[in-house]
Amino acid sequence: MSDHTELHAFPAPEAKGERIRLAIVRQRYNPAGGAERFVSRALDVLRDAGSLDVSLLARRWEPIEGIRAVTVAPFYFGNVWRDWGFARAARRVWLAEGFDLVQSHERIPGCDVYRAGDGVHARWLALRRQTMGFWRRLSLWLNPYHHYVCRAERRMFLDPRLKLVICISQMIKREIQQTFGLPDERLAVIYNGVDTEAFHPSLRERHRAAMRAAWDIPDDAPLLLFVGSGFERKGVARALKAIEAHAQIYLVVVGADKHLARYQRLAESLGLARRVRFCGPQQDVKPFYGMADGFLLPTLYEPFGNVCIEALACGLPVLTSTTCGAAELITPGENGWVADALSPPAWSEAVGAWLAARARWDALSLSARRTAEPMRLSVMADTLLANYHRLLQSLPQRGPHA
């Protein structure tokens, strides 16, 4: 069956001298997803950089002005076929187009640049197995999708055509080096940027009163916010248990999960139904940051955590886990707290420390904002552009991407 590939008429900017023809490859689009929000913002900034002609190869995406969108949507049945088919079709498109650089956000051998936004799959599986009993571990091992992803990941990292891996945290750089042995010169740590004007402490003044009234939360109640879809990995159960012993604290959960009812039942069994709000996925999360006093993400594994940098930019202290890349930005007691994802007592203690520091919440908020301010999208874009130019200078003169 033929692949469905379509060019959309979102014209790229007019050429001005020597411009880099860059392809960004990202398969899936979820409007509530943090990775997708990051890619959309990054594309906006790269488009405005002036030295790039950017094309986006994806199954589906929202129109982005000035970006040439190429829909790559081969038929599939099941997740292995889905990823394999997209990889095959996307590579065929970029070979035909002859881009100067191909930056993939998917595990596709043959790209020039890989952005390791999903971390190392083998590491994620190892952490996940620690939370499972025998039968679930066996089911995980028997799942062909995980074997496919690990093979594709290894082939990509060891492919000689891969010139640069963008690691979104030092944690991910270490994991890639430990697993695949890549040298330092092929790895660049570039933290995700954040729109520091859109995500700003002023959201508190604009949204706190109205949002708390809308969700029936007392104005003076200490409120922690959780944002993320995929509750098992992101740690909703851990978040619920972390606030159980702290009767004053409310928790707002923004995100989607097919097992939502299971977490609602857990909240009821813990006696938390009155203090927890499950708000579902939201296209605009900013009002929720504005209603909160702190941000909680007890994730089992998160290569960076865009929501963490968004929360910091909004002036919210962040409580996250040692296996979250954004933990590298946290100084405990100053702009947040860090705990082991697999230690329930540590999470209750971290939440208790945040609550006990209520008299210093204004100082914590200022520190959180200062942490995020240097991580503007323009800084991230400048760093990416510098790496693109360095790569092109190191490559031999070539025609179509091979």
DSSP 354-368: HHHTGGGHHHHHHHH
> What is residue 9's predicted lDDT score, i.e. its pLDDT?
31
**For residue 314, is it within any domain?**
yes
Residue 391 is predicted with a pLDDT of 84
Q: Edge-to-edge strands of the sheet including 276-280?
A: 276-280, 250-254, 223-227, 294-297, 318-321, 336-339
Does residue 83 fall inside a structural domain?
A: yes
Residue with tokens 């760093």: 383
pLDDT at 247: 95
Asked if residue 402 belongs to a domain, the reply is no
Q: Which two tokens stand for residue 75?
A: 């038929």
Q: Model confidence over 57-116: pLDDT tens digits?
A: 999 877 777 788 899 999 999 999 999 999 999 999 999 999 998 999 999 999 999 999
Is position 400 within any domain? no
Burial 212-226 (b: 16+ CB within 10 A, else e): beeeebeeeebbbbb
Could you tell me if residue 27 is inside a domain? Answer: yes
- Please check whether residues 290 and 178 belong to one and the same domain: no
Burial (0-12, 13-18, 19+ Cβ within 10 Å), 101:
buried
User: What's the pLDDT score for residue 10?
Assistant: 32
Query: Are 344 and 263 part of one and the same domain?
Result: yes
More confident: 1 or 80: 80
In a domain, 20, yes or no: yes
Assess contact for 251 and 263: CB atoms under 8 A: no
Instruction: Report the domain count for the chain.
Output: 2
The DSSP 8-state label assigned to residue 333 in this structure reads: T
Do 39 and 155 lie in a common domain?
A: yes
Please state at what angle helix 306-313 crosses helix 361-372, rounded to 10 degrees: 120
Is 150 within a domain? yes
For residue 326, report the phi and psi dihedrals to the nearest 5 degrees.
-65, -15
Per-residue confidence (pLDDT) for residue 377, from 0 to 100:
85
Contacts with 368 (C-beta within 8 Å, 6 or more apart), sequence order? 311, 312, 313, 314, 315, 316, 317, 318, 335, 336
| Whether residue 128 is found in the same domain as residue 210 | no
Quickly state the pLDDT bin for 222 (edges 50, 70, 90): very high
Let me know whether 315 and 365 are in one domain: yes
Residues 222 and 172 in one domain: no
Residues 186 and 281 in one domain: no
CB 59 within 8 A of CB 72: yes
Say what angle helices 170-180 and 121-129 make with each other, to 10 degrees. Answer: 100
Q: What is the CATH number of the domain that holds 40?
A: 3.40.50.2000
Does residue 53 surpass a pLDDT of 90? no
Confidence (pLDDT) at 19: 81
**Residue 172 sits in the same domain as residue 223:** no
Could you tell me which residue, 35 or 313, shows the higher pLDDT? 313
Does residue 229 share a domain with residue 354? yes
188 and 219 assigned to the same domain: no
Distance from C-alpha of 59 to C-alpha of 391, rounded to nearest angstrom: 27
| Calpha distance 325→305 (Å, rounded) | 7
For tokens 């006093």, the residue is 293
Cβ proximity of 111 and 44 under 8 Å: no
What's the pLDDT score for residue 396? 61
* Residue 193 DSSP symbol: P
Domain range enclosing 292: 203-374
User: What pLDDT is stored for residue 61 in this prediction?
Assistant: 79
CB 93 within 8 A of CB 70: yes
Residue 198 belongs to a domain: no
Same domain, 189 and 111: yes
Same domain, 211 and 263: yes
